[in-house]
């Protein structure tokens, strides 16, 4: 077990006594101070091939944890099969006023309205260039500045800026905290966005895979439009999903805070949307399952719903880095039971999960 995992039970009371954003900043600083080791070894039964990349295991860190590419190697050393930095925008921006990050411990959830606060392309690029020769898969999540007059142009700039260092790109058009951003998920705007991005990709000497990150709060017809727009090689994968605007069933006093909800309450909704996307794309586009992953069973649920890879973030707030080993151990056991790999389980329950619950939001 890593030093970080051993230390978390002792550090957690201190961290949770602090404002959530201050605690996160302290966590990043602590991880930055740790020696940079090689990516942790994984059980070979957990290896995944997706969008042209080899992942040592399917568990990754979702964007938002490491906005400025400060600790990718520290996260890989904890055992994650990949990590995703960002969201990064062309220009630095401070984001929304604080407080803007809230723990909901009664619900094992988090609400954020950060607003793409980050140090901009330049700072993240410098850090990624400095670790370019290290191993491990580090994705770059790109976004648009709030005051941009050409939001699609901001995404194009992201492709050009990071093409030489990104293991893959994620195009984030699903944050609820930048006004109007989710409008890019409509079919007409999405097709225009993907067309311009792919034109820029074609101009690059190195062309990393590109994923699209979508919201969970989409109607069936909207999911159908996205699936259609993403076909034919327009994207290499889809992340399902970002945070939700829903507040169903929450108990915490912070439940009415504005922003995107993540954590355990998102599990059912995001998994249902993941399964629907798997069915709509007929399993032909690799999917990444995010939203509510908090243990081995929930990670496996994402795979059975159609995910090739799984991401988490909010669960780390409550369980710490020891969660990584626990989830991977569970998945390795399931892989052994299913013939030596997880691939045979991918999408096995998608048809059933896609029809659970009500449609839409």
Clarify whether 175 is annotated catalytic.
yes
User: Is it true that the peptide bond before 329 is cis, omega within 30 degrees of 0?
Assistant: no
CA distances from 261 to 14, 68, 104, 118, 282 (A): 24, 22, 10, 20, 29
Residue 283, classified by CB atoms within 10 Å of its CB into exposed (0-12), middle (13-18) or buried (19+), is middle
Catalytic residue among 148, 167, 174, 175: 175
Query: For 210, phi and psi rounded to 5 degrees?
Result: -125, 130
Residue 18 burial (CB count, 10 A):
12
Half-sphere exposure of 7 (CA within 13 A, CB side): 11
Query: In this structure, are strands 53-55 and 48-50 parallel, antiparallel, or unpaired?
Result: antiparallel
DSSP letter (8 states) at residue 41? P
Task: Using DSSP, state whether 96 is helix, strand or coil.
Answer: coil
Residue 38 burial (CB count, 10 A):
11
CA distances from 126 to 123, 130, 131, 162 (A): 5, 6, 9, 10
Nearest by Cα to 56 from 191, 141, 167: 167
H helix runs in the chain, sequence order: 3-17, 20-33, 72-77, 120-130, 151-162, 187-203, 220-230, 267-280, 296-305, 314-319, 322-337, 350-353
Any long-range contacts for 254-258 (C-beta under 8 Å, 24+ apart)? 254/102, 254/103, 254/104, 254/111, 255/104, 255/107, 255/111, 257/102, 257/111, 257/113, 258/111, 258/113
Residues recognised as catalytic: 175
């Amino acid at each position: 077990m890593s030093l970080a995992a051993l230390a978390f039970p002792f550090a957690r009371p201190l961290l949770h006594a602090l404002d959530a954003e201050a605690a996160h900043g302290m966590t990043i600083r602590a991880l930055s101070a740790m020696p940079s080791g090689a990516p942790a070894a994984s059980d070979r039964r957990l290896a995944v091939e997706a969008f042209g990349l080899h992942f040592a295991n399917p568990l990754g860190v979702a964007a938002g944890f490491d906005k400025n590419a400060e600790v990718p190697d520290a996260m890989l050393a904890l055992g994650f099969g990949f990590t995703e930095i960002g969201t990064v925008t062309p220009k630095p921006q401070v984001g929304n006023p604080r407080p803007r990050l809230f723990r909901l411990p009664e619900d094992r959830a988090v609400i954020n309205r950060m607003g793409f606060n980050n140090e901009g392309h330049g700072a993240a690029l410098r850090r990624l260039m400095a670790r370019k020769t290290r191993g491990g898969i580090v994705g770059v999540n790109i976004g648009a500045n709030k005051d941009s007059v050409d939001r699609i142009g901001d995404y194009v700039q992201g492709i050009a800026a990071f093409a030489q260092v990104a293991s893959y790109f994620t195009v984030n058009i699903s944050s609820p905290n930048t006004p109007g951003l989710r409008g890019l998920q409509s079919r007409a705007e999405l097709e225009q966005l993907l067309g311009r991005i792919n034109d820029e990709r074609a101009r690059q000497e190195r062309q990393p895979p590109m994923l699209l990150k979508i919201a969970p709060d989409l109607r069936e017809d909207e999911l159908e439009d996205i699936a259609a727009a993403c076909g034919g090689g327009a994207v290499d994968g889809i992340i399902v999903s970002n945070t939700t605007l829903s507040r169903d069933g929450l108990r915490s006093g912070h439940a009415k805070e504005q922003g995107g909800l993540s954590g355990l309450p998102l599990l059912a909704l995001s998994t249902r949307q993941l399964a629907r996307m798997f069915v709509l794309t007929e399993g032909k586009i690799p999917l990444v399952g995010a939203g509510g992953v908090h243990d081995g069973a929930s990670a496996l649920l994402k795979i059975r719903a159609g995910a090739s890879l799984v991401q988490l973030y909010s669960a780390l707030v409550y369980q710490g880095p020891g969660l990584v080993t626990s989830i991977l151990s569970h998945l390795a056991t399931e892989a052994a039971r299913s013939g030596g790999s997880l691939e045979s389980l991918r999408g096995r329950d998608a048809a059933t999960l896609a029809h659970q619950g009500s449609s839409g939001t």
